[in-house]
Amino acid sequence: LVQRLRPFGTTIFAEMSALAVAHDAVNLGQGFPDTDGPASMLAAAQRAIAEGHNQYPPGIGVPELRTAVSRHQRDHYGLDYDPDTEVLITVGATEAIAGAVVGLVEPGREVVMIEPYYDSYAATVAMACGVRRTVPLIADDDGFRLDRDRLADAFGPATSVILVNSPHNPTGTVLSDDDLAEIARLCVEHDVIAVTDEVYEHLLFDGRPHHPLATFPGMRERTLRISSAAKTFNCTGWKVGWISGPAELVAAARAAKQFMSYVGSGPLQPAVAQALDTEMAWVAGSSAALQTKRDMLSAALSEAGFGVHRSEATYFVCADPRPLGFDDGEAFCRMLPERIGVAAVPVSVFVDDVEPWRHLVRFAFAKRDEVIAEAAQRLRRL
């Protein structure tokens, strides 16, 4: 393995899921739901296969999905993208991130990212021979907020791109409008491109709205917005994602993406298009159910003796096992499946500066209620 990829041997999700299987544990590690998406979407995919849509789709994605992605953003956020030149369908958000970074970042230039960061960000920047600059979230009451001083310090002449993930994995934080406005101001001042990972855009709780960075002043023309069907429609295995942005930036991502996978998910694309057009009520119900699951798991963790951080969105809640006598999250997560039959992931694998995060552990609550109840029971054995 080349040196620059050596730090990224095996993803933590593969490692912890294998431990969960080995010990027959309730897997609250890897973030995927254990129920299916809307029945009409599954049926549409089956129909597409039966009707022979089984060859390469167009390189930029099938027209009905590009149109649905465009319409969706106009309806939800008032953002207008031309489906022919400003939308690109990708193999999940993961390939969208990779296409954007590889297509936009010159070797040695810097990519700013919020720490903790989704694990593919660091590996992807390394593949592009870019340099990552991390800006930490800091604990605030029971939640997290951006360190604005560190944010401003991270921008300079070498900055090429900022990767912004809100709602944020792994903490479940929604960046405030003030934080987003400050990111926008810095991007404009330093002529930096924003790549926004908004895969949890529909999974916010307690009535919080989602505000895409692209809607802030000066940002439409310098933002590549990324989302995916995975979390919106409970189909993480389908790997249907998309990028929207100004034609020139989308073209850069497309130039890289076409030699990563060329295309993917042919018969699934029309099914996702249909779901975007007709199943947003299903999504609202799914999000409301997730909020209840967040409450269930947060209460269970708290009763088991963890310190529990506020989760405002996503599939995840972060917990502090130090009150239970564990101060190393990684060691804790390696021990947990065997000890009590529950799997989680340590937050420290998503950071460069380990110390402030060493103790913290992420639990996924996108599971059936009875699975969360079983996990709750097992957590009491700690």
Contacting residues toward ligand PMP, per CB under 6 A: 31, 92-94, 118, 165, 169, 197, 199, 228, 230-231, 236, 239, 241
Q: Is 232 in the site for ligand GLN (CB under 6 A)?
A: no
Q: What's the min distance (Å) between Cβ of 189 and ligand PMP? A: 26
User: Binding residues for ligand GLN, how many (CB under 6 A)?
Assistant: 5
Specify which residues 131 forms β-bridges with. 110
Q: How far apart are the first and last CA of the chain?
A: 39
Q: What's the min distance (Å) between Cβ of 357 and ligand PMP? A: 17
How far from chain centre, in Å, is Cα 266? 23
The site string for ligand GLN over 153-182 (x = CB under 6 A, - otherwise) reads ----------------x-------------
Q: Is 30 in the site for ligand GLN (CB under 6 A)?
A: yes
Residue 160 interacting partner from ligand GLN, ligand PMP, none (CB closer than 5 to 8 Å by kind): none
Nearer to ligand PMP, 163 or 376 (CB): 163
Q: Is 11 in the site for ligand GLN (CB under 6 A)?
A: yes
Amino acid identity for residue 125 in this structure? V
Nearer to ligand GLN, 31 or 167 (CB): 31
CA distance 335 to 187: 43
CA distance 125 to 133: 10
Q: How is the beta sheet containing 307-308 ordered, strand by strand?
A: 307-308, 316-320, 361-364, 345-346
DSSP 3-state assignment of 226?
strand
Nearer to ligand PMP, 31 or 329 (CB): 31
Q: What's the min distance (Å) between Cβ of 360 and ligand GLN? A: 14
Q: What's the min distance (Å) between Cβ of 31 and ligand GLN? A: 3
Q: What's the min distance (Å) between Cβ of 84 and ligand PMP? A: 23
Amino acid identity for residue 170 in this structure? P
Contacts of residue 180, Cβ cutoff 8 Å, sequence gap at least 6: 164, 166, 211, 213, 216
Nearer to ligand PMP, 70 or 120 (CB): 120
Query: Per CB under 6 A, which of residues 31..60 are in contact with ligand GLN?
Result: 31
- Dig out the tokens for 26 from the structure: 């309730």
Nearer to ligand PMP, 239 or 378 (CB): 239
CB atoms within 10 A of CB 338: 11
CA distance 105 to 92: 20
Nearer to ligand GLN, 112 or 344 (CB): 344
Residue 227 interacting partner from ligand GLN, ligand PMP, none (CB closer than 5 to 8 Å by kind): none
Q: What's the min distance (Å) between Cβ of 268 and ligand PMP? A: 12
Q: What's the min distance (Å) between Cβ of 16 and ligand PMP? A: 15
Residue 242 interacting partner from ligand GLN, ligand PMP, none (CB closer than 5 to 8 Å by kind): none
Nearer to ligand PMP, 65 or 376 (CB): 65
Closest by CA position to 225, among listed 317, 113, 96: 96
CA distance 107 to 104: 10
- Dig out the tokens for 155 from the structure: 């921008």
Nearer to ligand GLN, 254 or 293 (CB): 293
Burial 153-182 (b: 16+ CB within 10 A, else e): ebbeeebbbbbbbbbbbbbbbbbeeebbbb
Q: What's the min distance (Å) between Cβ of 380 and ligand PMP? A: 29
User: E-strand spans in 178-297?
Assistant: 193-197, 223-228, 240-244
CA distance 314 to 366: 9
User: E-strand spans in 10-103?
Assistant: 26-27, 87-91
Query: Per CB under 6 A, which of residues 67..106 are in contact with ligand GLN?
Result: none
Contact footprint for ligand GLN (CB under 6 A): 11, 13, 30-31, 169
